[in-house]
Amino acid sequence: MPFIVQEVLLLLTLGAGIFLASVVEAKTGPAHDKVVVCYISTWAVYRPGQGAYAIDHFDPSLCTHVVYAFAGLDITQSAIKSLDPWQDLKEEYGKGGYERLTGLKRTHPHLKVSLAIGGWNEGSRNYSILVGDAQQRGRFVKQVSSFVRKYNFDGLDLDWEYPTQRDGRPQDRENFVSLTKELRDEFDNYGLLLTSAIGAAKNVIDQAYDVRQISRYLDFLHIMCYDYHGSWDRKVGYNAPLIADTLDPLSVQYSIDYLLKLGAPPSKLVLGLPFYGRTFKTPGNGVLGDATDGVGFKGPFTREDGFLGYNEICSILGNKTSGWFKQWDGQTSQVLAYSERNVFTGEVSVVTFDSARSIANKVKFAMMKRLAGVMVWSTDTDDFLGNCDLDNDVYADFKLVTAAPRRLNQNYPLLRTINEAITLSLEEIAADEVVTPDDAENEIPHGGVADRKNAGAFLNSTPLSISVLILFVSLMCERHRFVVNLLEL
């Protein structure tokens, strides 16, 4: 308590004219009003050693929404089902993962918890059958509604990858709209959230989604802005380039602009950020475009060819004797790291990934587009134990920030960057708007009225130094579960 009072006095002394209206014990989540959707790949609990991630590792103060991935589809019953009853449920001495995650709402009332159905391994075929039959859809809608309520979830996230693709059928596009509409009608009776993970490649968007229609029924569209390139290309490429060559449809910018053009409201779009990289092996020098073996390599925790979690990447690169080099690419906001040549195989290992700086730049992009917020795949590959050193170039591409805000905690560097970068980029955008009121961005009615009010309310008229101070103080107060509420300036 004395600590708080001291800080308050300090703030009052420094910021002449600021009235600290109240210090309330209220907010248990992020201090901004944007959406931060955190997926947990719950099979991460089976990873070895320091890679193992249980529900207990999750930090609910860093996300507004959390999604439990994945449940499956039992097509014989038209029903959602647990894919791992021992982890998910409590029966027969199970670990009760569903209720341990939804139970976090007791201490963190801001948190919304959804259950995701689908994922890559579930394929597409059975979902295609389900949506193609009105009766099966009807049964599913009723069953899934009672299932999510039974475990105290706030909603359902549809992760069908993807309608019309991978053994799907052309009718899936229309039938998926029917499914979202019928779920919406049912969910509205209980105030449940309905969201969907959406593929980001242009050809998938074109074939799989009636964007305008599904946008009517979904609360949020979680755009999977990653896997643009990987070992399957048989050449080195960036996993998730922010901006590619003008005509290249494989970039974050292209996906988001395209969805907006197709009629998705920015206030429902959530930009997906990868907490992982794509790996390659090449006889070349390890530069972009080098021919590769089509397989890549795996990490010690995630053990999947072609994939490395950020926690695995930062530990490899942080090891001074491991012989890796890294290069920042300003246009794509991607990092490419390559190893020394292996003397036995003659190959160079390469990983392309998002660093904290990449994440900060993408957050700023999402804020400039006035999107609802960002999503992460997935929390379990952030450096959740805080084993790596923090990057010092995180805000190198921000105009008004020269140093990263000091942090109390070293863990979850990427998630913490997201929350800081939301506040900092909204400030930067507000400052730009004051300087250039004619900016074309202003004339486009992006985003909800609430968004604009929340984002702009005090930031518009607040000098940067004061806002940074507020951020700093609220970070310090985090420990005490207090948030400083600044009402009027």
The catalytic position among 122, 161, 182, 427 is: 161
State how far the Cα of 431 lies from the Cα of 459, in Å rounded to an integer: 8
Given candidates 122, 172, 354, 380, which one binds ligand NAG under the rule CB under 6 A?
A: 122
- Residue 238's identity, in one-letter code, is Y
Q: Which range touches ligand NAG (CB under 6 A), out of 30-38, 225-233, 282-290, 315-323?
A: 315-323
Max CA separation in the chain (angstroms)? 68
In sequence order, the β-bridge partners of residue 399 are: none
Question: 122 vs 157, which CB is nearer to ligand NAG?
Answer: 122
φ and ψ of 350, to 5 deg: -135, 145
Map residue 175 onto helix, strand or coil.
helix
Q: Does 161 bind ligand NAG (CB under 6 A)?
A: no
Q: Which range touches ligand NAG (CB under 6 A), out of 136-144, 298-306, 318-326, 469-477?
A: 318-326
Neighbours of 362 (CB within 10 A): 25
Of 194-233, binders to ligand NAG (CB under 6 A) are: none
State how far the Cα of 210 lies from the Cα of 199, in Å rounded to an integer: 13
Q: Does 292 bind ligand NAG (CB under 6 A)?
A: no
Question: 17 vs 49, which CB is nearer to ligand NAG?
Answer: 49
Q: How far is the CB of 76 from ligand NAG (least distance, A)?
A: 5
The residue written with tokens 């139970």 in the block is 103
Q: How far is the CB of 388 from ligand NAG (least distance, A)?
A: 11
Q: How far is the CB of 129 from ligand NAG (least distance, A)?
A: 8
Q: How far is the CB of 58 from ligand NAG (least distance, A)?
A: 26
Find the radius of gyration of the CA atoms of the chain: 23
State how far the Cα of 316 lies from the Cα of 323, in Å rounded to an integer: 9
Q: What tokens does 485 get?
A: 């509420």
CB-based contact 286:236 (threshold 8 Å): yes
Q: Does 321 bind ligand NAG (CB under 6 A)?
A: yes
CB-based contact 223:269 (threshold 8 Å): yes
Q: Does 75 bind ligand NAG (CB under 6 A)?
A: yes
Q: Which range touches ligand NAG (CB under 6 A), out of 118-126, 242-250, 280-288, 365-373?
A: 118-126
Q: Does 77 bind ligand NAG (CB under 6 A)?
A: no
Q: Which range touches ligand NAG (CB under 6 A), out of 54-62, 191-199, 294-302, 314-322?
A: 314-322
State how far the Cα of 291 lies from the Cα of 286, in Å rounded to an integer: 9
Q: How far is the CB of 74 from ligand NAG (least distance, A)?
A: 6
Question: 93 vs 344, which CB is nearer to ligand NAG?
Answer: 344
Question: 74 vs 397, which CB is nearer to ligand NAG?
Answer: 74
Map residue 162 onto helix, strand or coil.
coil
State how far the Cα of 153 lies from the Cα of 225, in Å rounded to an integer: 26
Q: Which range touches ligand NAG (CB under 6 A), out of 150-158, 207-215, 241-249, 319-327?
A: 319-327
Binding track over 38-57 against ligand NAG, x by CB under 6 A: --------------------
Given candidates 1, 13, 17, 76, which one binds ligand NAG under the rule CB under 6 A?
A: 76
Q: What tokens does 6 get?
A: 């001291």
3-state helix, strand, coil in the chain (%, to 5): 40, 20, 40
Q: How far is the CB of 82 from ligand NAG (least distance, A)?
A: 14
Q: What tokens does 82 get?
A: 């647990």
Q: Does 339 bind ligand NAG (CB under 6 A)?
A: no
Q: How far is the CB of 320 from ligand NAG (least distance, A)?
A: 8
State how far the Cα of 263 lies from the Cα of 241, in Å rounded to an integer: 23
Q: Does 126 bind ligand NAG (CB under 6 A)?
A: yes
How many residues sit in the footprint of ligand NAG (CB under 6 A)? 8
Q: Does 319 bind ligand NAG (CB under 6 A)?
A: yes
Mark whether 161 is an active-site residue. Answer: yes
Question: 76 vs 189, which CB is nearer to ligand NAG?
Answer: 76
Q: Does 300 bind ligand NAG (CB under 6 A)?
A: no
Distance of CA 271 to the CA centre of its chain: 7
Own/partner long-range contacts of 14-18 (Cβ < 8 Å, ≥24 apart) = 14/469, 15/466, 15/469, 17/489, 18/466, 18/486, 18/489
Question: 123 vs 386, which CB is nearer to ligand NAG?
Answer: 123
Question: 300 vs 405, which CB is nearer to ligand NAG?
Answer: 300
User: Half-sphere exposure of residue 472, counting CA atoms within 13 Å on the CB side?
Assistant: 14
Q: How many residues does the chain have?
A: 489
Q: Does 322 bind ligand NAG (CB under 6 A)?
A: yes
- 3-state SS of 111-143? CEEEEEEECHHHCCHHHHHHHCCHHHHHHHHHH
Question: 87 vs 126, which CB is nearer to ligand NAG?
Answer: 126
Question: 193 vs 316, which CB is nearer to ligand NAG?
Answer: 316
Question: Given the rule CB under 6 A, which residues bind ligand NAG?
Answer: 75-76, 122-123, 126, 319, 321-322
**Catalytic residue positions?**
161
